[in-house]
Structures are given as C-alpha cells and as structure tokens.
Amino acid sequence: MTEAINHQVRLAQRPKGDIQPSDWAHTDESVPTIGDGQFLVRISHISLDPAMRGWLNDAPSYIPPVGIDEVMRAFAAGEVMESNHPSFTVGSHVTGVFGVQEYAVSDGSGVLAVDPSTVPLPTWLSALGITGLTAYFGLFDVGALADGETVLVSGAAGAVGTVVGQLAKIKGARVVGIAGGPEKCRWVTEELGFDDCLDYRQDGLSRRLHTAIPKGVDVFFDNVGGEVLDAGLAQLNRGARVVICGAISQYNLDRVEGPRNYMNLLVKRARMEGFLVFDFADRYGDAAKEIAGWLAEGKLRSEEDIVQGTVADFPATLQRLFRGENKGKLILAI
C-alpha cells in the first residue's frame, strides 16, 4: 500500500520587498499520526490573506513571525479523517490555522466545527469566518457606525471590503468604495449595492472623492494605506472615525509611507484607530449568528474568488492579492 504523503509549503527565506518563488520551499513528508486528544484534518480550502505578508517579517507584531523552514501559517478548512478527540468526529468539518499543507494534526485549540450543509465550506472562511468578523467589529465597534452616516471603504472589492460595504448598507448608510479598475468599481456598485465607487488608479483621487462625497465621510474603513489613506483623510467630517484594518499598498515596501493628511484628525476632532479581530474573540458567536441571519435573508452576499489547484499553487495564488486581481475572498481549493 502506498504511504500517504503530506505536501507542504514552507518559508525558505524572508522576502525583501515583493515575495519571490525562491522564498518558498516545497516539501513532502508522511501524513502525521495522531495522539490522545488529537485529530487529523484533510485540508480542502486555504485562505489567502494580505496579513500573510506581515507574518513573514522578522519584526515585532501582534503575532510571532513564521519561522524559517516552518509550514506557512494559514487559515484553512477541511474534513476530520481520524480522531481521538471527543468533540471532533470523523467526517465532520472544521476551520482553523492549519497551514499551507494537505494534512494537519490538531488538539482542537482555536478550531471551529462548521456545517457545510448550511452554507458552502468556503463561506466559513469568508463572511462567516475571520473575514466577516473583521468587517463586523471594525465597522460597528471601532467605527461606531450610526444611522444616516456616510462610509468610505478602501479595498472595496477585497475580502473584508466587500463585507464592510454590504454591512453598512444593511444599516442604512451611504457607502462609497475605492477599488482598482473600472470593472471592480462596476461590480461593487451593481452587484454589491455600494452607492458609488472610485478607481484609485485614475488621477486626482482626492478631487474625485470630494465630488463624490460632498458632505464628507463619517467612517473611513481603510484596507490600503499610503496615498489612498491620505485621500480619505482629506474628506473627514467632524468626529469621524478612521478604522485601520490593513495597508496592503505598504506591505512589500522597505519603508512604510505614513499619512501626510493626519492633521485633519485634529481639525475635524476625528479619531484613527487600528484593531485586531482577535480582541473580540469572546463575541465571535453572537456576531456570527447575526451575519448568518443576513446571509439567510439575502441581505448579505459572501463573495469568494476560488482558485482550483494544489498546495504547490499557493505562492502564485498569493501574488494575486498584491496584484489586485482578486474579487472578494481569495481561497485556494486543493
């Protein structure tokens, strides 16, 4: 009988600037055996997230960096194939930080049992996963969205941005997105219900924002940083909240470009705050129930950009994020 092999992607060296194919190592090992209180997961879907770039840097952060020769960290979903754990039975489905590999052993820490008969498995990595929870807590808790306000969302066609805009519309806000290219802007307005969307690749973003949002911005949910962040800061209303969720335009730079228009925070008595979804872990369940309700009612769409491939396709698929090629949540199905 042929021995089962676990194909993996490991970090070979720390990237300098853009991630290169040489930064990764493709390894094979025997499928691990489980011990007491453990279970084996066959991974079927791997989440690709901008935060992955930060995990590769040997620098202080909210989480230790991926170590050299370690399996690349990744949220993933899969099926339990073997189990010595009372809470995770064979044939059940789970999500967790399983890494970029075909099989993972877990003791259940940080693992969520999910039901793909209610919504497809990729949705548990998207609107019903960390992505949706990030949008929910960033908009409602950090952004403190109130009735009748105007929301600006950068990275509007990305995983978190698509959910933020829809959640804001559910609450009756006027929503303006910023995205890369006319096709993405058309998609978020015509398909996802944003009121307007501006292409950041065109000249004069600040001027065009001022025209599109003549009454100013109350909540600016930023996923991009750099010049896009600066353009949004120039449009703030008094008491506005700027939610710093990410800065994908900066992740491959040797030197991060800070905001130039930050003095508008003072002039407008506004606040700019970063956050991590993990700080709200004790409320995940309640938030997920509300998100699930909106999905069931058809008020919210979970948008996934699914690439069919193998574990070996992870490096090339990850590059799609930094080229701005994905629409919605980027997932590698293996």
Per-residue model confidence (pLDDT) at position 253: 86
pLDDT for 16 beyond 80: yes
Quote the CA–CA distance of 185 and 198 in Å, as a whole number.
7
Per-residue model confidence (pLDDT) at position 204: 95
Q: Which of 21-35, 189-203, 255-269 has the lowest mean pLDDT?
A: 255-269
Average pLDDT over residues 258-267: 94
The CATH class given to the 130-278 domain equals alpha beta
Average pLDDT, the chain: 96
> Residue 152 is inside which H or E element, if any?
strand 150-154
Residues 6 or more apart from 250 whose CB is under 8 A from it?
A: 225, 226, 256, 257
Per-residue model confidence (pLDDT) at position 1: 37
Percentage of the chain beyond pLDDT 70 is 99
Per-residue model confidence (pLDDT) at position 216: 97
Reduced to 3 states (helix: H, G, I; strand: E, B; else coil), residue 224 is coil
Termini Cα distance of the chain: 23
Percentage of the chain beyond pLDDT 90 is 96
Per-residue model confidence (pLDDT) at position 257: 81
pLDDT for 105 beyond 70: yes
Residues 6 or more apart from 122 whose CB is under 8 A from it?
A: 45, 77, 302, 304, 306, 329, 331, 333
For residue 190, what pLDDT band results from cuts at 50, 70 and 90? very high
Domain(s) labelled CATH 3.40.50.720 in the chain stretch across: 130-278
Average pLDDT over residues 42-56: 97
CA angle 108, 114, 118 (to 5 degrees): 175
Domain(s) labelled CATH 3.90.180.10 in the chain stretch across: 5-126+304-333
Nearest residue to 333 (alpha-carbon basis) of 175, 27, 121? 121
Average pLDDT over residues 59-69: 94
5-126+304-333 adopts what CATH topology?
Quinone Oxidoreductase; Chain A, domain 1 (3.90.180)
Q: Which of 2-16, 150-164, 259-273 has the lowest mean pLDDT?
A: 2-16
Quote the CA–CA distance of 29 and 105 in Å, as a whole number.
13
Nearest residue to 172 (alpha-carbon basis) of 301, 328, 299, 303? 299
Average pLDDT over residues 21-27: 98
Q: Contact, 196 vs 133, CB < 8 A?
A: no
Q: What is the DSSP letter of 139?
A: I
pLDDT tens-digit profile of 88-101?
Answer: 999 999 999 999 99
For residue 4, what pLDDT band results from cuts at 50, 70 and 90? confident
Per-residue model confidence (pLDDT) at position 2: 52
